[in-house]
């Protein structure tokens, strides 16, 4: 799903493509439809084996696996990159059409939101986050966070990643990410503990609540306190009495 690029490659991370209008979808756990699978043994011994299979796009174990109607399985971000780039979206193996519902309504192979949060943590408990276009923060998936942490702790000023079919540059000095071919659009990134998030890698979690959306700046370790403001005082102008007349 996310792969580090060699030093001579591109410079910057999550899709900011104009065609990428599906920023986040809800991760739900649904019972698979066994009617479409007359022989479970031939289909890979069920869900467990599917989750351990390698993604045909990134050639790594599937991260947040998604199964297309043609029954081929990919990482969520890998197949999202295929689906949002170009007018015709086809399966990378059989060229079958990818329905838009694959992104807006993930299938049973995706884990529930609580499990996503539990698995997406580094050994020291830190997480990496990137800014949401509509406010708040998203958390990177576990594999991407490990790549970011490795580059960050080795004091690299910038780092390149391939995510959802696009090359992104991570600038650790400015703490931003941007596409290599579009430096005018960037998102903030941050590292910390237990920030309030919308979800993981574009998948909404159960803890996300639209009625209590946080702007991602006031929660979690490392946020700066806001200084209390003094109430504004209104100065009243004294009314002067007119001078006494000299008629007496």
The stretch 31-45 carries a mean pLDDT of: 44
Residue 98 pLDDT > 50 = yes
Does residue 59 fall inside a structural domain? Answer: no
Least confident of 21-25, 90-94, 153-157, 225-229: 225-229
The pLDDT tens digits for 53-82 are: 889 988 888 888 888 989 999 988 888 888
Does residue 37 fall inside a structural domain? Answer: no
Q: List the CATH number of the domain containing 186.
A: 3.30.720.50
The pLDDT score that the predictor gives to residue 1 is 57
> Which pairs count as long-range contacts for 135-138, CB under 8 Å and 24+ apart, including other chains?
135/213, 135/215, 135/216, 136/196, 136/197, 136/198, 136/213, 136/214, 136/215, 136/216, 137/190, 137/195, 137/196, 137/197, 137/198, 137/216, 138/14, 138/24, 138/197, 138/198, 138/199, 138/200, 138/201, 138/202
Is residue 14 within 8 A of residue 168, CB to CB? The reply is yes
> Among 30, 29, 144, which Cα is nearest to 78's?
144
* Residue scoring higher pLDDT (15 or 145): 145
Residue 234 pLDDT > 70 = no
The pLDDT score that the predictor gives to residue 198 is 85
Does residue 126 fall inside a structural domain? Answer: yes
Mean pLDDT of the chain: 69
Q: Which two tokens stand for residue 227?
A: 């200084």
The pLDDT score that the predictor gives to residue 99 is 84
Is residue 161 within 8 A of residue 147, CB to CB? The reply is yes
* Antiparallel, parallel or unpaired: β 203-204 and 25-26: parallel
The pLDDT score that the predictor gives to residue 39 is 44
The pLDDT score that the predictor gives to residue 171 is 97
> How many domains does the chain contain in total?
1
Does residue 38 fall inside a structural domain? Answer: no
**What range defines the domain where residue 166 resides?**
121-212
| Cα dihedral 94, 95, 101, 102 sign | positive
Give the DSSP H or E segment for 122. Answer: none
Separation CA 93–CA 69 (nearest Å): 12
Does residue 159 fall inside a structural domain? Answer: yes
- Give DSSP secondary structure letters for 63-108: SSEEE-TT--EEEHHHHHHHHHSSSS-B-TTT--B--THHHHS--T
Does residue 142 fall inside a structural domain? Answer: yes
Residue 216 pLDDT > 50 = no
> Among 129, 164, 132, which Cα is nearest to 148's?
129
The pLDDT score that the predictor gives to residue 89 is 83
Confidence band of 215 (pLDDT split at 50, 70, 90): very low
How many CB atoms sit inside 10 A of residue 97's CB?
12
Does residue 53 fall inside a structural domain? Answer: no
Does residue 50 fall inside a structural domain? Answer: no
The pLDDT tens digits for 100-140 are: 777 766 655 655 555 555 555 566 678 899 999 888 999 99
The pLDDT score that the predictor gives to residue 163 is 81
Q: In what order do the strands lie in the sheet with 127-131?
A: 2-4, 158-163, 166-171, 176-179, 182-192, 127-131, 137-139, 199-200, 203-204, 25-26
The pLDDT score that the predictor gives to residue 130 is 94
């Amino acid at each position: 799903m996310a792969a580090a690029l060699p030093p001579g490659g591109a410079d910057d991370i999550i899709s900011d493509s104009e065609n990428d209008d599906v920023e986040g979808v809800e991760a739900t756990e649904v019972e698979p439809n066994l009617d479409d699978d007359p022989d479970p043994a031939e289909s890979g011994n069920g869900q467990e084996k599917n989750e351990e299979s390698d993604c045909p796009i990134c050639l790594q174990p599937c991260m947040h696996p998604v199964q297309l109607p043609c029954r081929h399985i990919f990482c969520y971000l890998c197949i999202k990159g295929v689906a949002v780039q170009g007018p015709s979206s086809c399966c990378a193996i059989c060229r079958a059409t990818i329905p838009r519902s694959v992104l807006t309504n993930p299938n049973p192979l995706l884990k529930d939101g609580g499990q996503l949060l539990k698995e997406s943590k580094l050994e020291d408990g830190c997480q990496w986050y990137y800014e949401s276009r509509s406010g708040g923060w998203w958390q990177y998936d576990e594999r991407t966070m490990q790549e970011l942490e490795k580059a960050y702790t080795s004091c690299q000023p910038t780092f390149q990643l391939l995510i959802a079919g696009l090359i992104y540059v991570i600038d650790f000095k400015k703490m931003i990410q941007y596409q290599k071919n579009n430096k005018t659009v960037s998102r903030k990134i941050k590292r910390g503990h237990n920030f309030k998030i919308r979800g993981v890698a574009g998948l909404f979690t159960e803890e996300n609540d639209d009625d209590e959306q946080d702007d991602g700046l006031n929660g979690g370790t490392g946020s700066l306190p806001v200084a209390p403001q003094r109430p504004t005082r209104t100065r009243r102008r004294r009314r002067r009495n007119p001078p006494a007349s000299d008629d007496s």
